[in-house]
Chains A and B, each alone.
Chain A
């Protein structure tokens, strides 16, 4: 309540530019500035419930995370810890020294880069394949969105049952149709040796499985945006290219793709941010085992299994920091490229 009163009791917030404008208007000056003031007051009143809830439940907790990351707090001594505790860098040095953190950071990077790329790739293929109308296209389009809207728990459960080494349908048909010698433990095997054309490879089985899941689950998001962008692409350009004798791949490469690139760039940022922090998928599929422990799963384990709040807060902060740096670097590069083009 008090915060609300404070906000609406603030001095009439009229921007300087608006005041000048009102002065120029001469005769209408009085009426306009009253309307502006009324609007400003109404605006703040209407936005304040949202603002209060967001500040209290999102902004303050984040600030508090900073405070906790610099203290040695555990769930057990929580009641004695305050804002003025003993600040220390122990949590950060603990994380940066441990090998597990760096391994999981690497896993997170591989997971999010490959997951983002394959989701957008699949989404692009789907958007192009469904571009020309045909009977039943509406139904097919709606089906494409199912993986994205279905509850994550149900989706991961269906996948882990399908990939189950004992009675999963994938292993059943894989052994019968594809000639696998033995069932593959897709979600619990850290790596498997594969020989292709006499070359031996070691593939991170579980990590590739969760990346495949991520691609499957989020390609609809890319599909949706790329479809919308394709609908906005003017047909004239492609017709002109057709008249000039451009083949389908050439029309895609030189006419369509340049129009899609800005959308793809935005999608990459959004998907990368979400994949980089994603917790549900990996936690539900592998529990973070078999070489799939991403940082968010580590944060969760530190928080609940070990009750080490300080370490959890510090790891979450490092994760957010790295993400922020990556996104800023990407946006910088992308922005400069745009300018040059």
Chain B
């Protein structure tokens, strides 16, 4: 039935087909009408489904972090808890130092913040001039260098893990935040240059030429013209780098696992999740603390960041 109607839809040549078409259109059962109706409903179902799968795990994390362990074990299926039953003990326990019986997440957060902020600063310091050079200046091997950076971006970090682990063990930098910082910068700077270069490419050269005619040198042009114009891209890039460094897990695990006072939040959470003595609710509070800075940054700068994310890989 459906196929014959479709064919009629396609060839409305004769009077007869016209008639059937209008009849079926009036009764509302053409393929087009059916599809439109189905998709109108389906669309909202899909949106609801997507919202549920993306938000629920985070909602659940927050929910468990404010319930007591007893309540969770008694009623594991609860999806709502009235404010009168909220308990903030988990947060107190996860934040207080390990000396006073807590998990010492404050130390972990400080470590993560130090590493993440230093990674941002160093990456930009090294990457900004590099991105400017790759975008603006013609020099020997420019294309090869761009290719190298793309390769680094796509390179499996597990393959790098082996030699870096051995190397840092040998020079005794394993277990130090400095070692971790160097590794982060070396792996992120390539992506960072890629993102920034795409932005520098969009700034008209004529602006720089005007400054050059006015007697500005290369560095002056960079400092006074290009960097101020690229501010939004630099901001997006800084946030992007911060998120990568804050979330990173593999190298933190390889380098820092033996020294508890150097753990980053991600590493701390994963290590404590393995032990049976620590209640799940306490770990959920830790989980909220790891995620919160990222969520805040993300919603505060969503537009900047999504543009940055796409700009970074578009050329790939």
Kindly state whether residue B13 has any CB partner on chain A within 8 Å: no
A151 and B310 in contact, given A167-B73, A317-B159 (Cβ under 8 angstroms): no
Please tell me if the beta carbons of B156 and A54 are within 8 angstroms of each other in the complex: no
A53 and B126 in contact, given A157-B283, A173-B77, A313-B162 (Cβ under 8 angstroms): yes
Please tell me if the beta carbons of A58 and B155 are within 8 angstroms of each other in the complex: yes
| Count of chain A residues near B, Cβ 8 A | 94
**Interface 1/0 per residue, B115-156 and A, CB below 8 Å:** 000000000001101101110111111100100110010111
A-side contacts of B105, CB under 8 Å: none
Kindly state whether residue A208 has any CB partner on chain B within 8 Å: no
A-side contacts of B133, CB under 8 Å: 42-44, 46-47
Please tell me if the beta carbons of A157 and B269 are within 8 angstroms of each other in the complex: yes
Kindly state whether residue B236 has any CB partner on chain A within 8 Å: no
Please tell me if the beta carbons of A320 and B156 are within 8 angstroms of each other in the complex: yes
Kindly state whether residue A194 has any CB partner on chain B within 8 Å: no
- Closest Cβ neighbor of B137 among chain A residues: A43
Residues A132-156 near B (CB distance < 8 A): 132, 140, 142-147, 149-155
Kindly state whether residue B60 has any CB partner on chain A within 8 Å: yes
Cα–Cα distance between A249 and B284 once the two chains are bound (Å): 44
Kindly state whether residue B17 has any CB partner on chain A within 8 Å: no
Cα–Cα distance between A299 and B166 once the two chains are bound (Å): 13
Cα–Cα distance between A312 and B254 once the two chains are bound (Å): 14
A-side contacts of B291, CB under 8 Å: 150-151, 154
Cα–Cα distance between A125 and B284 once the two chains are bound (Å): 31
A296 and B76 in contact, given A157-B269, A309-B166 (Cβ under 8 angstroms): no
Kindly state whether residue B35 has any CB partner on chain A within 8 Å: yes
B-side contacts of A145, CB under 8 Å: 298, 302, 306
Query: Which of A60-68, A99-107, A113-121, A333-341 participates in binding chain B?
Result: A60-68
A15 and B140 in contact, given A58-B186, A158-B61, A245-B9 (Cβ under 8 angstroms): yes
A contacts with B: majority SS: helix
- Contact size range, B: 35 or more
Kindly state whether residue B205 has any CB partner on chain A within 8 Å: no
Query: Which of A184-192, A199-207, A276-284 participates in binding chain B?
Result: A276-284
Enumerate chain A interface residues (CB-CB to B < 8 A): 10, 13, 15, 18, 36, 38-44, 46-47, 49-51, 53-54, 56-59, 61-62, 64-65, 68, 73, 75, 78-79, 125-126, 129-130, 132, 140, 142-147, 149-155, 157-162, 166-169, 172-173, 176, 216, 220, 224-225, 228, 245, 247-249, 266, 270, 273, 276-277, 279-280, 284, 296, 299-300, 303-304, 309, 312-313, 316-317, 319-320, 323
Enumerate chain B interface residues (CB-CB to A < 8 A): 9-10, 31-32, 35-36, 39, 43, 46-47, 50-51, 53-55, 57-58, 60-61, 64, 72-73, 76-77, 79, 126-127, 129-130, 132-134, 136-142, 145, 148-149, 152, 154-167, 169-170, 182-183, 185-187, 189-190, 193, 218, 243, 246-247, 249-250, 254, 265-267, 269-270, 273, 280, 283-284, 287-288, 290-291, 294-295, 298-299, 302, 306, 309-310, 313, 316
Q: List 23 A-B contacts (CB under 8 A).
A: A43-B133, A43-B138, A53-B185, A54-B186, A57-B164, A64-B163, A64-B167, A132-B43, A140-B47, A150-B291, A153-B266, A157-B287, A161-B280, A161-B284, A169-B79, A224-B306, A224-B309, A247-B31, A276-B156, A284-B270, A296-B158, A319-B159, A320-B159
